[in-house]
A and B are shown apart, each in its own frame.
Chain A
Amino acid sequence: MDKSINLIILNFLIVMLLTQVALAVSISPPIITLDFSPNAEYTFVFTIDRAEKIGSYLAGDLAQYATIDDPNQDGGPRLITVHLKLPERIEKPGKHVLLVGAKELPTSPIGGVGGVAAIQAAIEVKVPYPGLYVEMELIAPNVNLGETVNFIVKVNNLGTDNINSARAVIDVYDEYSKIKTINTDEKSIASKTIAELYADMPTNAMKAGSYKAIATLYYDGETKTAEKDFNIGTLYVAINNFTKELEQDKINKFDIDIESRWNNKLGNVYGEVTINGVNVKTPSYELNPWEKKNITTYYDTTGITLGEYDATIILYYEDKTTTEGGKVYVVEEIKKPTSETKAEVEKPFKINIEITPTTLLIAIIVILVVVDILWLVMRKKGKK
C-alpha cells in the first residue's frame, strides 16, 4: 500500500517537473496609424492580456513624446492608457513609431533555456515627404497552371504632392529571360493615400514553375520598381530525398522528404517503399500548398544480409503517383545510443487514467462488486 502511494507521488512529481507552461501575452489594438500633425495630442487605451503578470513599457523613436498610465504595473490583465504629444516638427520624413509593449513575467523560475514572450502594438506616425514620394509593393500570388495571376501594385503616396497619373508595367521572367509584359490600369493618387493598380495574366500558355515579376511604376515623370517571385503550380509532389542507410536486424525509421508543387491543399498523400521485395507504407498525410514535409515509415531488416539493395518509393496523391528509385545500404548496427532508445530506458513508469463518466461509473460498479463479494465471504465465515 505504501509502495503504491509512493509510486503515485513520484509519478505526480515527474509530471509536474516535465510540464511546460505555454506562456503568452497579447495587446489590443495592435496597430494605429496617424498622419503627422504638429503639437497634436492623442490618448489611446490598450488591453493587455493572457498572462498572470504583465509588465508594460514604451519604446520606439516617439517614446520620448509619450507617457504611459498603468494602474497595476506587473499585474494581471488590464487596461493601460498611453498619452502621445507630438512635437512641433519632425525633421526626418517617413514612418515614425511609438511601440507600446507588454512583457509577460514568469510566475515560476524557468530552468535551463527558457523563453518569455513580449508583444508590441505600433502607433505609426507618417511624416510626409516634401514633393513627390511613393512607396510601392508588388503582390504576385501563386496560382495553378491555367488560372489567372492577379497582380496588384500597391502605391502609397507619402509625399506632400498629389500624383496626377500613376501606372505600372509588369515584366515577367522565367529562369532564363523575359517572357511577358503586362500593363496595369492608371490612377491619380492624392497625398497621404494608398492606391492599388491591377493587371491580370492568364497562364494557359505558360509552363509550371517559378517566375519573377518586376513592376516599374511611372508617376508624374518619376519611376520606381518593385519585384516579387511567384509560382505557377502543377499537380505534382516531388520526392527530394529518402533514407539511404538501414541498420541490420532492427526496425529502422525510413524518412522520405517530399515537396508539393501544387497551389492547393492535398489530402491523403502517402508513400510506399519497396526494398528486397518487401513493401511498407507511410501513414496518410495532408500537404499545404508548396509544403515540404518529411513522411515516415518503418522497415524491418531482421535477417537481411549486409549490402546494397534497390529501393523503389512510390508516392500516391489525388489520382497521381511519383516514383523514385535508388540504392539503400543495410549496414551493421551503429553502437551509440539514440535519444529514442535512451529515453525509452529512462522513461518513468506511468499509468494514464482519464477521469470520464464511463471510468467513474465503472469504478463505482467495481467497488460495489468487491463490497458484495467481501460481504458474502464474511457472511459465510460468520456462519461457520
Chain B
Amino acid sequence: MAEEISNRTLAILLVVAIAISLGGTIISLNRFTQVNMITGLAGSSTGSARVNVTSTASLRFVKNATNFGDGSVNTSAGNQYCRLTAEELIDYNGTAATCIGFNTSREELEIENDGNTLLNVTLVSAKTPAQFIGGASPEFMWKVDANESLVCDGSVAPTDWTTVSTTNLQICPKLDFQNGNDSLDVHFNITIPYNSLTGEQTVTLTATGTATT
C-alpha cells in the first residue's frame, strides 16, 4: 500500500501549481499581443485594390431620449408651475422647489450627421405644449446649439428658448459631416402647470436631414 502524501507536500504542490498557472497566464498574455493573428503568403511584391466609396446621406440620434421621470408641481409650497430643463435640475422659486420628484440625470438630445454629405436639418414636434402637457399655459420649448465648432455653414437656430414647432423648422442649413464638427444638441424647457395632464406623457421629435450641396 502506497504511503499517503502529507499535508505539507500538498500545500507546496498547491503553491507551485498556482505559481505555474499565474506565470503561464502572464507569458501567454504577453505573447498574444505579439502574435499577428491573421497572416498570409505574399505571392508577389505588388498588388492592386479597387475601392468604391459611395456617397451617403445619414442622420443619427446619438442621444435619442430624455426622460424627465415621475413628479409633480410642488403646490404645497404655493407653486402653480414646475419648470424642468434638460440641463438644470429643478427650477427654484425663492427657497422652495417648484417641482417634486422627476429625474435629476436628464440629458439633451444629440443629432449627428454620420454620412458623407452636407445636410439641411429640420426639426418638428409631434405635439404642441397643450397636447403634450395640458393645463393652464403650459410651455414646451427648445433651443439648439452646436455641440462642436464649425458645425453648421449658416446659422444654428433657435439658440434662445422657443416654443416647439409642429411644422418643420430649419435648425441648420448645412450640417457638416466631418468627425468632430458634425453634431447639434437640442435642449428642452418644460413648464408644467398644477392642472396639467396626468399619467405618462411622451412626445416624439423628428429630425430630418435633406442632402444638400
A: which residues have CB within 8 A of B? 20-31, 50, 99, 101, 103, 106, 109-122, 288-293, 336-339, 342-343, 346, 357-358, 361-362, 365, 368-369, 372-373, 376, 379-380
Contact = CB atoms under 8 A, between A and B. Distances in A.
B157 interface: no
Contacts of A288: 148-150, 180-181
B64 A121 contact: no
Interface stretch (B10-18, B36-44, B72-80, B191-199): B10-18
Interface string B100-122: 00001100010100110101000
Contact of B58 (A24, A122, A343): A24
A118 B210 CA distance: 9
A365 B10 contact: no
Query: Chain B contact residues (Cβ within 8 angstroms of A): what range?
Result: 35 or more
Dominant secondary structure of chain B at its interface with chain A: mixed
Contacts of B60: 22-25, 50, 117
Contacts of B209: 117-120
Contacts of B17: 368, 372
Contacts of B149: 288-293
A23 B110 CA distance: 11
Contacts of A101: 208
B205 A113 contact: yes
Report which residue of B57, B67, B188 has the largest number of chain A beta carbons within 10 angstroms of its beta carbon.
B57
Contacts of A376: 7, 10-11, 14
Interface string B55-85: 1111111111111110000000000000000
Given A22-B64, A110-B204, A117 B115 contact: no
A247 to B, nearest CB: 16
Interface in B13-30: 14, 17-18, 21-22, 25, 29
26 contacts: A25-B59, A25-B60, A28-B56, A29-B55, A31-B55, A50-B58, A110-B64, A111-B200, A112-B66, A112-B67, A112-B69, A113-B109, A113-B188, A113-B205, A115-B111, A115-B205, A117-B111, A117-B206, A117-B208, A119-B115, A288-B149, A288-B181, A290-B149, A291-B150, A339-B104, A368-B17
B29 A30 contact: no
Interface in B77-99: 86, 88-89, 92
A187 B207 CA distance: 42
Interface string B158-201: 00000000000000000000001100001010000000000010
A122 B212 contact: yes
Nearest to B60: A24
A116 B210 CA distance: 15
A342 B203 CA distance: 26
A357 B207 contact: no
B56 A24 contact: no
Interface in B106-142: 109, 111, 114-115, 117, 119
Contact of B211 (A21, A23, A122, A342): A122
A357 B186 CA distance: 40
A114 B104 contact: no
B202 A116 contact: no
B213 interface: yes
Contacts of B207: 115-118
A26 B60 CA distance: 9
B65 A27 contact: no
Contacts of B62: 22
A110 B55 CA distance: 30
A273 B123 CA distance: 41
Contacts of A114: 64-65, 202-205
Nearest to A358: B29
B64 A115 contact: yes
Contacts of A365: 18, 21-22, 25
A6 to B, nearest CB: 23
B208 A119 contact: yes
A112 B202 contact: yes
A27 B18 contact: no
A13 to B, nearest CB: 15
Contact of A117 (B25, B61, B67): B61
A295 to B, nearest CB: 14
A379 B11 CA distance: 12
Contacts of A122: 210-212
A372 B20 CA distance: 15
A30 B177 CA distance: 13
Nearest to B22: A365
Contacts of A336: 92
B61 A22 contact: yes
B117 A31 contact: yes
A113 B7 contact: no
